[in-house]
A and B are shown apart, each in its own frame.
Chain A
């Protein structure tokens, strides 16, 4: 009889201002507010330390903090954290079994934070297909350039950006999340469950994906990352600023992937219907069990590798680049500064 406790749709008493409650409008201003605050704090610390507030190093710092907090601000603004935040501050509107954001009653609900695994599945599939089309268009750019020898449409640098972004979008924003989309829709139904184990985490996983993808695409505005989707160090450590966009975008796509995988593991282990033993599960569920284990064990490694590249680039940690800092300064482009980074003492 578990089903009967849950038949509540949206219970909203009065219309709410889109500026202040989870919406695209709030996502817009909160994301940029977060970004500006983060850049402001890092600039202030640099000012206190007597470091220059212009030049390549400041750009790296601004990109790192700005992009990271822009993406976090986006998920906050769109409303992924509203339920948890309401719980933390003891909001009078907060209710334990809150299904107000569950299920689609009109097409508009697909553009909001929603905890229904079926809505999230379709959100995933539509968004990833858009990235598939963009990634495909980048590939057509590559093929246009390669249709005849010599340089026709793109400079070699842009060409490198095209195939790097093509692979990155296809892998991190199409293939992996579109499987998450199909599985989101199908797996809970196949198990006889009412939803995923953690519906709000599920929504957060989806909304992490969009800022990740936008960060990849935004790199074309500053000169695309061009070290391939593999982003091999030390090439990537010395690459122009577009590479920072790659290392940060990967973090959000990867976090989305890990959170979804944890969700699938818990769902498959704990939410099977009565009589659904492991040997009665459809093979798609088996496949997702294995895949989710791989994601949970493996994805932290690429997150770690890209963090180390990012630290090498921004903080000169020398994980992958054994050369002394002076070499970095002499090889970095348009850097007004030749100083070594301050020691941590």
Chain B
């Protein structure tokens, strides 16, 4: 029934951008922070994100080229589908231009971000193949589609999730992860991923259908190799799991801002205080001005730490009577900010505030 497919894909094509756009956001953060450069084309990246969102609603029927839907719809859907490569390409080029001449720190988060660009470009290219009507008709429901979806959803999305988890791990847990295990995880994942899914392109072009439990013996060798690397890919997750559990329990205590990032979440302690900020921060500039002299994103004011109350936070849970707890909770106003940092000395903060006030008036 074509009706079901139309309704379904009207959501489920935008859904692939629901599964991809946050990843683009994560990659934009990581590429800029870990290559110590302002992001290239900030506004264009933001615009292209919105453009992908809008265009995403105009391409759904490319999932249905062989479904028996109205034939005239194929060419417009093919055109809009290929059009989506333009804003996506804008992002890719912006990231590469950000990397250009940057001071690239190959942390695990950055490795996953770079790996993402590599695999996502491959997935995007096979996407353009599939957008072309004559190619799609011949590769529909083959392993070529399986390869494409895993290149964009694993090589694309899952890599960005890993990148984001490594990047924000110190902020979330207050602990640093193990870089060596992180790199091992990346290389295992990257190699096993490509070895698993690249051959699926070839299987698809040779005509192996997807979603079938049995297949022609002539596909046996490639399938056996794919299965071996699929198990390696699964095992690589265990490295990540061990790293997370071990580092969360025993890792070195993370500083508030291990990556020297400008955005606000890094200006509070790791992990952040329960109500995040003592006072609303004053934002005075863009978030990516790395290496720009005098540039500041925001002023974060925190109150003086009061060492007298350090360690009381854990006592809250076991404190007995209500007045006792109330007293502790009042004290916590001070405890919560123990690990916070000010971005600079008072005089400098005042000067920046003044400048911000002037620029608002101007």
A interface residues (Cβ-Cβ under 8 A, vs B): 1-4, 6-11, 13, 102-103, 105-106, 116, 118, 121-122, 125, 129, 132-133, 136-137, 139-140, 143-151, 154-156, 159-160, 163, 170-171, 175-176, 178-179, 182-183, 185-186, 188-195, 228, 230-234, 257, 272-277, 279-291, 293-295, 297-302, 304-305, 308-309, 319-321
Question: Among residues 14 to 55 in chain B, which have CB atoms less than 8 Å away from a CB atom of chain A?
Answer: 14-15, 17-19, 21-26, 28-29, 39, 42-43, 45-46, 49-50, 52-53
Contact, CB under 8 Å: A297 / B14: yes
The stretch from B110-118, B120-128, B211-219 touching chain A is B211-219
CB distance from A194 to the nearest CB of B (A): 5
Contact of A136 (CB < 8 Å), options: B234, B281, B298, B330: B234
Contact, CB under 8 Å: A287 / B11: no
Contact of A273 (CB < 8 Å), options: B216, B280, B336: B280
Using known A-B contacts A125-B165, A133-B237, A194-B276, determine if residue A11 contacts B231 with beta carbons closer than 8 Å. no
Contact, CB under 8 Å: B317 / A106: yes
Inter-chain contacts of A4 with B (CB < 8 A): 278, 333
Using known A-B contacts A2-B279, A302-B12, determine if residue A178 contacts B161 with beta carbons closer than 8 Å. yes
* Other contacts beyond A273-B277, A291-B53: 17, CB < 8 A: A10-B325, A103-B274, A105-B316, A133-B241, A155-B213, A176-B18, A183-B22, A186-B171, A228-B211, A274-B282, A279-B286, A284-B22, A285-B25, A299-B15, A302-B8, A302-B12, A305-B7
Inter-chain contacts of A148 with B (CB < 8 A): 220, 223-224
Contact, CB under 8 Å: A192 / B11: no
Contact, CB under 8 Å: B39 / A105: no
Contact, CB under 8 Å: B5 / A189: no
Inter-chain contacts of B230 with A (CB < 8 A): 139-140, 143
Nearest-neighbor residue (CB-CB) of B153 within chain A: A175
Contact of A283 (CB < 8 Å), options: B4, B42, B153, B214: B42
Contact, CB under 8 Å: B332 / A182: no
Alpha-carbon distance A300/B57, docked complex (angstroms): 13
Inter-chain contacts of B322 with A (CB < 8 A): 11, 13
Inter-chain contacts of B1 with A (CB < 8 A): 232-234, 320-321
Contact of B272 (CB < 8 Å), options: A118, A136, A154, A319: A118
Inter-chain contacts of A195 with B (CB < 8 A): 275-276
Contact, CB under 8 Å: B264 / A192: yes
Contact, CB under 8 Å: A304 / B7: yes
Alpha-carbon distance A299/B7, docked complex (angstroms): 11
Contact of A232 (CB < 8 Å), options: B5, B216, B330: B5
Inter-chain contacts of B328 with A (CB < 8 A): 9
Inter-chain contacts of B231 with A (CB < 8 A): 140, 143
Inter-chain contacts of A293 with B (CB < 8 A): 53
- The proximity string for B residues 138-151 relative to A, scoring 1 for CB distances below 8 Å and 0 otherwise, is 00000000000000
Contact, CB under 8 Å: B17 / A291: yes
Interface of B is mostly: helix
How many B residues are at the interface, by size bracket? 35 or more
Inter-chain contacts of A183 with B (CB < 8 A): 22
Subset of 27 A-B contacts with CB under 8 Å = A7-B332, A10-B316, A132-B237, A149-B216, A151-B213, A155-B213, A171-B153, A176-B18, A179-B22, A179-B23, A190-B287, A228-B211, A232-B5, A232-B8, A274-B283, A283-B24, A283-B39, A283-B49, A284-B25, A284-B29, A286-B50, A290-B17, A291-B17, A297-B14, A298-B18, A302-B15, A305-B11
Inter-chain contacts of A233 with B (CB < 8 A): 1, 4
Contact, CB under 8 Å: B280 / A11: no
Contact of B53 (CB < 8 Å), options: A121, A282, A285, A294: A294
Contact, CB under 8 Å: A281 / B287: yes
Contact of B281 (CB < 8 Å), options: A151, A155, A231, A273: A273
Inter-chain contacts of A281 with B (CB < 8 A): 287
Inter-chain contacts of B329 with A (CB < 8 A): 7-9, 11
Contact of A290 (CB < 8 Å), options: B19, B50, B171, B282: B50
Contact, CB under 8 Å: A273 / B165: no
B interface residues (Cβ-Cβ under 8 A, vs A): 1, 3-5, 7-8, 10-12, 14-15, 17-19, 21-26, 28-29, 39, 42-43, 45-46, 49-50, 52-53, 56-57, 153, 157-158, 161, 164-165, 168, 171-172, 211, 213-217, 219-220, 223-224, 226-228, 230-231, 234, 237, 241, 263-265, 268, 271-272, 274-288, 297-298, 313-314, 316-317, 322, 325-326, 328-330, 332-333, 336, 356
CB distance from A60 to the nearest CB of B (A): 19
CB distance from A212 to the nearest CB of B (A): 16
Contact, CB under 8 Å: B276 / A290: no
Inter-chain contacts of A179 with B (CB < 8 A): 18-19, 22-23, 161
CB distance from B46 to the nearest CB of A (A): 4
Nearest-neighbor residue (CB-CB) of A298 within chain B: B14
Contact of B25 (CB < 8 Å), options: A193, A272, A283: A283
Using known A-B contacts A9-B329, A228-B211, determine if residue A175 contacts B19 with beta carbons closer than 8 Å. yes
Inter-chain contacts of A106 with B (CB < 8 A): 314, 317
Contact of B211 (CB < 8 Å), options: A121, A160, A277, A282: A160
Contact of A122 (CB < 8 Å), options: B12, B46, B172: B172
Inter-chain contacts of A191 with B (CB < 8 A): 264
Nearest-neighbor residue (CB-CB) of B46 within chain A: A286
Contact, CB under 8 Å: B28 / A287: yes
Contact, CB under 8 Å: A301 / B287: no
Contact, CB under 8 Å: B21 / A192: no
Contact, CB under 8 Å: A275 / B356: yes
Alpha-carbon distance A144/B227, docked complex (angstroms): 7
Inter-chain contacts of A299 with B (CB < 8 A): 11, 15, 18
Contact, CB under 8 Å: B15 / A298: yes
Inter-chain contacts of A275 with B (CB < 8 A): 282-284, 298, 356
